[in-house]
Structure 1
């Protein structure tokens, strides 16, 4: 489908910007020291794919990345994309204290704002690690002046999820108080009586292109906006790989060889914008 023939609804495109070794499986050391990375080339390719499809995106960037690749962060901003925080070092939020979480996000926001000269408006937790027991950590984002969070996945998996969380954009309540912060939950569909993802990460790599397009189109017909998310490593089958057990290896690397073409096809079939731009257009977001 050509750009002119895209569906009218604007969906949200997001990328979690981290190195190939950033993962959060038990017993895994996040260390890629001494190994050459394809990070720069993969980022160039993501930016090219966005430009070719006239799509804008939110890039959730680690502070770690900002320190090591400041030129990449500046390039993202220069292309008109939304630069948001992914924390500093890809630590699981639910394994941090509230104080550690606050400092981790504060540090990352400072790094990113110093590079772009623009306020950071949003945050996504590594590995969707805002769950029921640490939902009150969203208060830290509010205190830091952020305007939206995109950390909640309304599913249940062995690693993350709040299965009964609202599936629409909303202002969450913590301790009986509505936060001055939008929650932008990840897209889900109903399958066999439960929520399941379809448009990001493993789900994006697992489901065939036609099926993802069908689900996005269904969401748009309901007046909803689908969210896509991917990592730089997921478009590059030649990138280094972690030594993982069979189940985790399948989840982490299944069909990375087909992801880039699938992403390009979907970007050219629907309109995509950043989370910040979507909230400006639909919820009157300032900033």
Structure 2
């Protein structure tokens, strides 16, 4: 795929995006089978979280207790029990410190993808620095996993109107897709006007796969995981993922973090009340909710679910009814 060496600074507009071929047979749910959704994990430790940056500034990251290895392996065990494969977006700093963890993810049949090197937001980087970040992380992960890394998720969903060059950088560095947009209004991130379904950027050909969102009561509401899944009752997520599958005919792209299944993590002092509530609430309930989610819906890696590699249909018991044929509706 050829990309102009001169990156455009023009803002991306609606006309720059096109829906991919939603009629491809492998993307449909056969009669009697469940709609297959996409499961992902952002592999970072608790002190990497932007909301806790006041307690854990970047220049002190060498000090906190490391917990990401154990908590990620806890997720690997949970997925193994459920018979589920997922995409793991791994930070480069985590891969350097825990190389055997990346190898274990790959040996388990999961997709290894990039979360960038040091959890810097894309809009805080220049195009040149972002490209170097992408290359450094991709090379490291490919060496450890022994396979190509084609996926990327921006820290804090930080690809936005301020980074019109980001997709060109991703294509230049050999990435095939991004899952870096959360199409809702939010105080930390969000692209509320972006399509809710996967779309291909006409400028670059890169596929953008947004986190799951439904439209209800005239508003966009997240059902794609993270704090929304952990803080709200499980019935909320189950209802809205089922709605997305059945009524919209769309798979859900869901995400979580290893620290969300680690209720024993250190509690930072002097945090704003909102940050404390968002980060520490209901950590002890998260693993049980995940087990229910994995039973109630069918899941697979992002690359297989969205046709970047072939995957057979998945049949699960107790799943919501088969969805209609997928349609490119926002």
Q: TM-score, normalised by structure 2?
A: 0.79
- 1:167–1:185 contact (8 Å) kept in structure 2: yes
- CA distance in 2 between counterparts of 1:274 and 1:281 reads 10
2:267 — aligned with what? 241
Correspondent of 1:228 among 229, 251, 254: 254
1:24 maps onto 2:53 in alignment: no
1:14–1:230 Cα contact (<8 Å) kept: yes
Question: Which region of structure 1 is more displaced relative to structure 2, 93-102 or 241-250?
Answer: 241-250
Distance 1:251 1:112 in 2: 30
> Cα deviations across residues 71-106 of structure 1 (Å, max 9, x unaligned)?
000000000000000000000111111111111111
Deviation digits for residues 87-131 of structure 1, max 9, x if unmatched? 000001111111111111111101100101111010000011111
* 1:154 to 2:180 alignment: no
Q: Which residue of 2 aligns with 1:114?
A: 143
User: Does the Cα contact within 8 Å between 1:154 and 1:166 map onto a contact in 2?
Assistant: yes
| Aligned counterpart for 2:84 among listed residues 52, 55, 60 | 55
Task: State the alpha-carbon separation in 1 of the partners of residues 267 and 216 from structure 2.
Answer: 31
Note if contact 1:85-1:108 (Cα within 8 Å) is conserved in structure 2.
yes
In angstroms, what is the RMSD of aligned CA positions?
1.9
Aligned to 1:278: 305
Does the aligned pair in 2 maintain the 1:7–1:269 contact within 8 Å?
no
Q: For 1:210-246, what per-residue CA distance to the aligned partner results, in whole angstroms no more than 9, with x for missing partners?
A: 2211111111113210122111100111112334211
Partner in structure 2 of residue 251 of structure 1: 278
> Are the equivalent residues in 2 in contact too, given 1:198–1:207 (CA < 8 A)?
no
**Count of residues in correspondence between the two structures:** 275
Task: Kindly provide the CA deviation profile for residues 127-152 of structure 1, in whole angstroms up to 9, marking residues without a partner as x.
Answer: 11111121331110011111100001
State the match for 2:132 in structure 1: 103
Question: Residue 280 of structure 1: CA displacement?
Answer: 2.3
Q: What is the alpha-carbon distance in structure 1 between the residues aligned to residue 120 and residue 103 of structure 2? A: 24
Counterpart in 2 of 1:188? Answer: 213
Q: How far apart are the structure 2 equivalents of 1:182 and 1:266? A: 26
> Greater CA deviation, 121-130 or 36-45?
36-45
Indicate if the aligned counterparts of 1:21 and 1:241 stay in contact, CA closer than 8 A: no
Q: Is the 8 A contact 2:43 2:68 kept in 1?
A: no
CA contact (8 A) 2:95 2:102 kept: yes
Deviation at 1:162, TM superposition (A): 0.9
Q: Is the 8 A contact 1:24 1:91 kept in 2?
A: no
Of residues 23-32 and 242-251 in structure 1, the stretch that sits farther from structure 2 once superposed is 23-32
* Higher deviation after alignment, 262-271 or 190-199: 190-199
Per the normalisation by structure 1, the TM-score is: 0.90
The residue that corresponds to 2:27 in the other structure is none
CA distance in 1, matches of 2:65, 2:190: 33
Task: Give the one of 21, 31, 37 matched to 1:11.
Answer: 37
Please say which structure displays the higher CA radius of gyration: 2
Once the two structures are TM-superposed, the CA of residue 200 in structure 1 deviates from its matched residue by 1.1
8 Å CA contact retained: 2:47, 2:64: no
The answer to whether the 8 Å contact 1:64/1:88 transfers is yes
